[in-house]
Amino acid sequence: MSDTKDATLTPEVRRLQQGMDEVWGNPKGLRALTVVNHTTVGLRFMVTGAVFFLIGGLLAMLIRTQLAFPDNDFMSPEIYNQVFTMHGTVMMFLFAIPILEGLAIYMIPKMIGARDLVCPRLTAFGYYCYLFGGIILFSSLLLEMAPASGWFMYTPLSSGEYSPGPGSDFWLLGITFVEISALSAGVELVVSILRTRTQGMALHKMPLFAWYILAMAVMIVVGFPPLILGSILLELERAAGMPFFEVAGGGDPVLWAHLFWLFGHPEVYIIFLPGAGIVSTLIPVFAGRPIVGYGWVVAAIIIMGFVSFGLWVHHMFTLGIPQLALAFFSAASMLVAIPTAIQIFAWLSTLWLGRPRMTLPMLWIIGFLIIFVLGGLTGVMLALVPFNWQVHDTHFVVAHMHYVLVGGMLFPLMAGLYYWLPQVSGRMPSERLGKWSFWLIFIGFNVTFLVMHWTGLLGMRRRVFTYDTAMGWDIYNLISSVGGFMMSAGVALLILDIALHFRFGRKAPQNPWGADTLEWAMPKPPTAYNFVSLPTVETRHPLWEKPDLSRTIYEGRHGLAHIDHGRRETWGSDALTGKLRETIHLPSNSWWPLFAALAIAAVCISLLVRVYWVGAVATLVAVVLLLRWSWENGAHPGKAPEASMAPSDPPLHYHTMNGPGVWCMSVSHLANGSLYLSLLFGWFYLWTVAPEWQMPDSSPLSMPMLVMGGAALTLGTFWLAKLVRRLRRGNDAGLGGGMYLAGGLGVLQSVLLMAVIWQAQLAPTETAHDATLLVALLYVLIHALLGATLCLLQGLRVGYGYVSAKVPMEPVVVLRFWYFHLVVYWSLFLAIWVLPTVLGGAS
Amino acid sequence: MRRLLSLTHPIHLVSGLTIWGIWFVAIYAGLSVACSVAPPEPESDMLTGINVGVGLATLVTTALLLWLAWASVAAGRKAELRRECYFAYISAGMFLFSAVSTLFVGYPIVFLPPCL
Amino acid sequence: MPLLGLLSGCAGEMSILDPAGPSASAQFWVWWAMFGFSMVVALVLFALWLYTFRRREQPKRTPREEQRIMLRWVIGGGILLPLASIVALLVLAAPTGRSMIPLPLPEGEAELIEVVGHQWWWEIRYPGENGEPDVVTANRLVMPAGEPVDFRLVSADVIHAFWIPRLGGKRDMVPGRHSVLRLEADVPGVFGAQCAEYCGAQHTNMLLHVEAMEREDYEAWLAERRAPRELQQGADEAQEAFGEHCAACHTVEGFPQELINDDMAHDIPGPDLTDIGSRPTLGAGVLPMEEGAIAYWLEHHQTLKPGNRMPPHNHIDTETLQDIGAWLETMEP
């Protein structure tokens, strides 16, 4: 193994490294808030996530204290209900997902040989959304007005009538805010993994961890929007009285359950997949051989990603859905056993064929295996409908989900923590203290939750604040509480260990574990730009096959080793083959992410305190800030010094028409499409299933105006497509005027849509039918307005010279937006006008 | 576009499961709508048109997926690049898994009434 | 059987492991079968996993041999093992759920009892001749033993779940819809039941006392309550106070209309009190029914069950509450 310290640094290389530091380095002081670098923001994500973990853990200890003895009055029922609701919410939304996102944000560019993620400002924006959303949500606990309807917020318990206080609003707004963060990370991780791998790293040569994160990111993108929609609808019900989930108005509380679990089940796998990714990374390293069955594992990841979207109803087995429908979901849930088992046996055979070393990270991996396998086995049991009917909503389920989540996520995360700690700090973890904390946590966990299965089988429900001694649950609860405190002691020791580590840990060698992936080929602690020069990698195990890579990278002997242009650059490569396609010019530090997130926080808070005019102003400000942010793109001088002129090979991405921006727009539309499909699902669901649904005899919407609006949209889209085709041929004559024309058509469509809404005289607070129509129309109206705005801004940018035949990328991005809107508009027309008219008012 | 249709393209890693997903949504939605529009008499237990319909959809989808699995193996045999062969074989496995899953998930129609 | 000896520790009125009906028994055996099988799988897997760390000497293997070993593990353990397990589960165990479907019986009809979930108590309604409920009670469910009973489940407010662990699985009570759950008790007995879906502040104290009786006892129990009744004379003050403070929300069959004070807000119905004296508990399982218990409950109900929907009675003096309590205790069929 060679070391970056062994590198021979010529004055030229030194100058290169200094230049890199200047261009990529993080500013100090207040300007540290502008940092967009993935290493820094990834660490911020993880540290914030760890703080929320401690808060969530504290809440767990309160719960265990309350349940330690029968008839305990340590907490009042109201406080207890807030505590368990917040424990679930904090752990799921503010700890598990963000900390894994943080890990992916930190690690992915380093593993695939890139210098940063593809949308650095989005990384920072995501972090601020997470931080502010988390603070808003958490503040409710300090104000003693926390949500108290359980972490899945079933309506009508969470609705205005049964939860009149602001608790539910805190949850809905805070969580939606945090989800914006998850979506931002999801989108850019997908595009980064597909498009910024270093030269030669074909799809089937990338590290397995990247496959896991790719699957996780796609799942976030598709899986989160249903809950965002649900939260918007429920908040509209609570704030404006639109009865989406209220039976009397034609809504249905079961719709909330569907929307929640459509998100909620994939979420479990969103949490598990990165954990499994860590396991798949560590096991080959400590077995000293490549993972066996790479292709099998990739197949298993993809199967998990898909099948996990077909399981959501297994959280709803007792809701009174016909048993045959339940059986479909039951069978699909059992199927997950197969990809899980494939991975477990691939890991086992890797160990079998290798020479496994027992190290501290490996200890956590073994803990993972034991706990996760047990959780998986009870998971298969729970998939069986008749058994599920017995143990659903008991402590058996509580035990099961802690086994899968703690086993599947926390243990691998700790393994990863100890594994990658030297990469972050340059020091080796302690063996002794680390082992102590492992055993305390491992034993404490099992003492708490193994017994809890039994408590559940004896009939103890979840979410009860106390129990009668006659039930015979006393001793088991006491054991669980003791185990819980043992686990806390382990966590305390772990924190101590990490704190001491940064002070006393002994210096780590370049590649302390003998790993195979690129993140070990950089100086420690890592530089902001990761690699001085970007290597060509055509193997799955670069550091095993070329042990001197660390040194040669550091000596600037590979690609993109220039900095005199002052740009942050990384490679853009073909999604499939890893062939070089462009040089991606990444934006630098910026205030816009922070400002935009602050504006959105203002929106949330004004909605919470129900001062709607402030909310409206703040929304406007947020939109303006986001557009202002987007203004500094492409050939804007603030972003790109002399970019429109600079030659480079491969070409800078905005000189091409298929750069990462185009990909980001497509992936965002995956999310947007998922939101739209959830809305359509809500419409059809309420139409066919809601008990009191009322469909008027004829549609209140004006068909001619809807069709005219659609015609304007269609014309605009085809016009834009024509402009882009001409641009592709290098012809930008009349581009600016053309953009204004498309924008004008967008404005026309918006006006027509407003007229439709005005003319329809909807009564959205009376019936769920009108409320859903209104939301659907507003959804397309927002798209129409945004489409128009983007075109008008493009016209302006053409005038400034930021967009031209030389810099042709942005119109392609805008065109994708219009295509999406076109499909949405006409399919929505079909769903809300044509079908009801053809089928009549039948409900 | 042609490139995407070739079974050696990695897009087919997910097309088998996509077909499975579409089938899954279709039978679940179809069952829900059928039960809300025209629920059969409880007396007929599982011997209803709905069960038969779901069963036929299941068999047709399974057959389609099996055929695609076979075609992927054939495409993998003929592939020139190692990468293409690799993806074709994994895709074949995915089609096979999807076929088995379809049959497995559809199986409960033989012992359960549709709407109770 | 030694296994059953071990299980005697599982007795408890809410225990799934002490089944008293065919559904619960099926679920009980399915559980132990799954448990046993899972334990074997898990222990073998853990042993193999740990064994890989113990082996020191590794034979030299060609890539071809490695490939063969890998395929053996991954196909055998990763595909065949789980596939065989879940096929067995789907074919053998999933059909046990059929017994909980309210299919038409070979002969006759199952007894139908309607259960309404309220925040945080149970209303039980027995349909009479014309299908309308003619016996209404609360927090005590009486059912015939040895025959299937269909429970028609509805909710008056939020989602609740009806669960008698020793008889079988739970089913949610969803506002706006009803669902029918079929359960059967093998022999007469007393069982615990509880709300299993979290339903708000006092979800914990939403318990139900279930009694299964022989058919003739059950019918006699119903007949007693169907018989026309007269209110006990000589408790005028208590009745007046009841009419003044309680009757807007609580029904007592035969209570004189003219005494009911309509001014009180009564948008939330309270339990029917017609046979309250015969119920084993108060407040959906908070207090055992004893002499003086009702009066105690009336005075302290917001401390005993904080947040419950009955307004506090601070404005009513203790003596009046005691009067009402004493009078209510006589409310037996």
Chain C residue numbers with beta carbons less than 8 Å from the beta carbon of B42 are: 102-104
Supply the pLDDT for residue A841: 56
- C129-150 pLDDT per residue, tens: 887 888 999 999 999 999 999 9
Supply the pLDDT for residue C1: 35
- Residue from A218, A324, A326 to probe the interface with B (highest B Cβ count within 10 Å): A324
Judge if C194 and C115 occupy the same domain. yes
| B82 contact C CB<8A | no
A226's CB contacts (< 8 A; 6+ apart) are A259, A260, A262, A263, A674, A675, A678
Q: Is the pLDDT of residue C6 over 60?
A: no
Supply the pLDDT for residue A9: 80
C106 lies in some domain: no
Cis peptide before A525 (omega within 30 of 0): yes
B95 lies in some domain: yes
DSSP state of C8: G
Furthest-apart CA atoms within chain C: distance in Å: 100
Chain A residue numbers with beta carbons less than 8 Å from the beta carbon of B94 are: 299, 302-303
Chain B residue numbers with beta carbons less than 8 Å from the beta carbon of C97 are: 112
* Number of domains, chain B: 1
Judge if C10 and C50 occupy the same domain. yes
Supply the pLDDT for residue B43: 86
* Cβ neighbours, 10 Å, residue A570: 27
Q: Report the range of poorest mean pLDDT among A96-110, C260-274, C316-330.
A: C260-274
- Say how many CA atoms lie within 13 Å of A501 toward its Cβ: 25
Domain with CATH 1.20.120.80 in chain A: 679-839
Q: Which two tokens stand for residue C202?
A: 């006092």
| A385 contact C CB<8A | yes
DSSP for C199-227 reads: -STTGGG-EEEEEEE-HHHHHHHHHHHHS
In A515-638, DSSP assigns E strands to 568-573, 580-586
pLDDT band at B2 (very low <50, low <70, confident <90, very high): low
Supply the pLDDT for residue A664: 94
B88 lies in some domain: yes
Lateral strand order in the sheet of C207-213: C140-144, C207-213, C189-195, C160-163, C171-173
Cα–Cα dist A184/A224, whole Å: 11
Supply the pLDDT for residue C265: 61
**What is the bridge-based pairing of β-strands C189-195 and C207-213?**
antiparallel
* Number of domains, chain C: 3
Q: Which two tokens stand for residue A603?
A: 């929106």
Overall residue count recorded for chain B in this entry: 116
Judge if C158 and C76 occupy the same domain. no
Supply the pLDDT for residue A440: 97
Share of chain A above pLDDT 70, in %: 97
Q: Which of B90, B107, B112 sits opposite A323 (nearest CB)?
A: B112
Q: Do A366 and C50 touch (CB under 8 A)?
A: yes
Q: Which of C61, C79, C199 sits opposite A342 (nearest CB)?
A: C79
* Cβ neighbours, 10 Å, residue A633: 21
Chain B residue numbers with beta carbons less than 8 Å from the beta carbon of A328 are: 24, 27-28, 31, 105-106, 108
- A232-290 pLDDT per residue, tens: 999 999 999 999 999 999 999 999 999 999 999 999 999 999 999 999 999 999 999 99
- A318-358 pLDDT per residue, tens: 998 999 999 999 999 999 999 999 999 999 999 999 999 99
A676's CB contacts (< 8 A; 6+ apart) are A779, A824, A828
Q: Which of B104, B107, B116 sits opposite C101 (nearest CB)?
A: B116
Q: Do B36 and A576 touch (CB under 8 A)?
A: no
- Decide: C123 and C271 in contact? Cβ < 8 Å: yes
C-alpha to C-alpha distances, A291 to A578, A673, C47, nearest whole angstrom: 22, 36, 20
Q: What is the CATH number of the domain that holds C159?
A: 2.60.40.420
Supply the pLDDT for residue A563: 87
Q: Do A298 and B20 touch (CB under 8 A)?
A: no
Judge if C220 and C249 occupy the same domain. no
Q: Which residue of A has its CA nearest to B46?
A: A324
Q: Which of B14, B90, B109 sits opposite A324 (nearest CB)?
A: B109
Share of chain C above pLDDT 90, in %: 66
- A643-653 pLDDT per residue, tens: 555 566 788 88
Residues 91-110 of chain B with CB under 8 A from chain C are: 100, 104, 107-108
Chain B residue numbers with beta carbons less than 8 Å from the beta carbon of C95 are: 111
Supply the pLDDT for residue A640: 56
Alpha helices in A290-410 (DSSP H): 294-307, 323-335, 337-353, 360-383, 385-391, 395-405
pLDDT band at A482 (very low <50, low <70, confident <90, very high): very high
pLDDT band at A684 (very low <50, low <70, confident <90, very high): very high
Q: Please tell me chain C's helix, strand, coil percentages from 3-state DSSP, rounded to the nearest 5.
A: 40, 20, 40
Q: Which fold has domain A679-839?
A: Four Helix Bundle (Hemerythrin (Met), subunit A) (1.20.120)
Q: Which two tokens stand for residue A498?
A: 């990490």
- Decide: A396 and A456 in contact? Cβ < 8 Å: yes
Q: Do C90 and B116 touch (CB under 8 A)?
A: no
Cα–Cα dist C169/C98, whole Å: 12
Residue A399 CA, chain-centre distance (Å), reads 26
Q: Is the pLDDT of residue A42 over 90?
A: yes
Q: What residue has token string 């945080």?
A: C120
- Residue from C103, C107, C171, C181 to probe the interface with B (highest B Cβ count within 10 Å): C103
Q: Which two tokens stand for residue A48?
A: 């914030």
Cα–Cα dist C214/C144, whole Å: 6
In C132-290, DSSP assigns E strands to 133-138, 140-144, 149-155, 160-163, 171-173, 179-183, 189-195, 207-213, 281-282, 287-288
Segment C105-109 long-range contacts (CB within 8 Å, at least 24 positions apart): C105/C148
**CATH 1.20.210.10 holds for A4-504:** yes
Cα–Cα dist A204/A373, whole Å: 28
Residue A384 CA, chain-centre distance (Å), reads 30
pLDDT band at C112 (very low <50, low <70, confident <90, very high): very high
Q: Which of A202, A204, A302 sits opposite B17 (nearest CB)?
A: A302
Average pLDDT, chain C: 89
- A760-819 pLDDT per residue, tens: 999 999 999 999 999 999 999 999 999 999 999 999 999 988 888 888 999 999 999 999
The amino acid that residue A99 corresponds to is: I
Supply the pLDDT for residue A635: 66
Q: Which residue of C has its CA nearest to B112?
A: C98
The domain in which residue C94 lies consists of: 6-100
- Say how many CA atoms lie within 13 Å of B19 toward its Cβ: 27
Overall residue count recorded for chain A in this entry: 843
Picking from A336, A337, A334, the residue whose alpha carbon sits closest to that of residue A384 is A334
Q: Please tell me chain A's helix, strand, coil percentages from 3-state DSSP, rounded to the nearest 5.
A: 70, 0, 30
Picking from C252, C270, C285, the residue whose alpha carbon sits closest to that of residue C156 is C270
Q: In the predicted model, what is the mean pLDDT of residues C33-60?
A: 90
pTM of the model: 0.95
Q: Is the pLDDT of residue C58 over 60?
A: yes
- Decide: A199 and A144 in contact? Cβ < 8 Å: no
- Decide: C12 and C166 in contact? Cβ < 8 Å: no
Picking from C114, C126, C96, the residue whose alpha carbon sits closest to that of residue C173 is C114
- A728-739 pLDDT per residue, tens: 999 988 999 999
The more confidently predicted of residues A747 and A800 is A747
Q: Which residue of C has its CA nearest to A357?
A: C53
B31 lies in some domain: yes
Judge if C273 and C194 occupy the same domain. no
**What is the bridge-based pairing of β-strands C171-173 and C207-213?**
unpaired
Cα–Cα dist B73/B89, whole Å: 6
Picking from A197, A206, A193, the residue whose alpha carbon sits closest to that of residue A578 is A197
Cα–Cα dist A595/A626, whole Å: 9
B116 lies in some domain: no
CA dihedral A833, A835, A838, A842 (to 10 degrees): -100
The domain in which residue B15 lies consists of: 2-110
- A56-95 pLDDT per residue, tens: 999 999 999 999 999 999 999 999 999 999 999 999 999 9
Chain C residue numbers with beta carbons less than 8 Å from the beta carbon of A691 are: 176-177
| A299 contact C CB<8A | no
| C48 contact B CB<8A | no
Supply the pLDDT for residue A639: 58
Residue A239 CA, chain-centre distance (Å), reads 27
Q: Do C90 and B43 touch (CB under 8 A)?
A: no
- A146-196 pLDDT per residue, tens: 999 999 999 999 999 999 989 999 999 999 999 999 999 999 999 999 999
C105 lies in some domain: no
C253 lies in some domain: yes
pLDDT band at A642 (very low <50, low <70, confident <90, very high): low
Rounded to a whole number of angstroms, the distance from the CA of B103 to the nearest CA of chain C is 11
- Decide: A45 and A99 in contact? Cβ < 8 Å: yes
pLDDT band at C46 (very low <50, low <70, confident <90, very high): very high
C64 lies in some domain: yes
| A355 contact C CB<8A | yes
Could you give phi then psi for residue A807, rounded to 5 degrees?
-120, 75
Q: In the predicted model, what is the mean pLDDT of residues A614-640?
A: 85
DSSP state of A507: B
Rounded to a whole number of angstroms, the distance from the CA of A60 to the nearest CA of chain C is 18
Q: Which two tokens stand for residue A558?
A: 């590979």
Cα–Cα dist B90/A295, whole Å: 7
Q: Which of B42, B104, B113 sits opposite C90 (nearest CB)?
A: B104
Q: Is the pLDDT of residue B42 over 90?
A: no
| C32 contact A CB<8A | no
Chain A residue numbers with beta carbons less than 8 Å from the beta carbon of B31 are: 322, 324-325, 328
pLDDT band at A711 (very low <50, low <70, confident <90, very high): very high
Rounded to a whole number of angstroms, the distance from the CA of C86 to the nearest CA of chain B is 9
Q: Which of A310, A324, A338 sits opposite B112 (nearest CB)?
A: A324
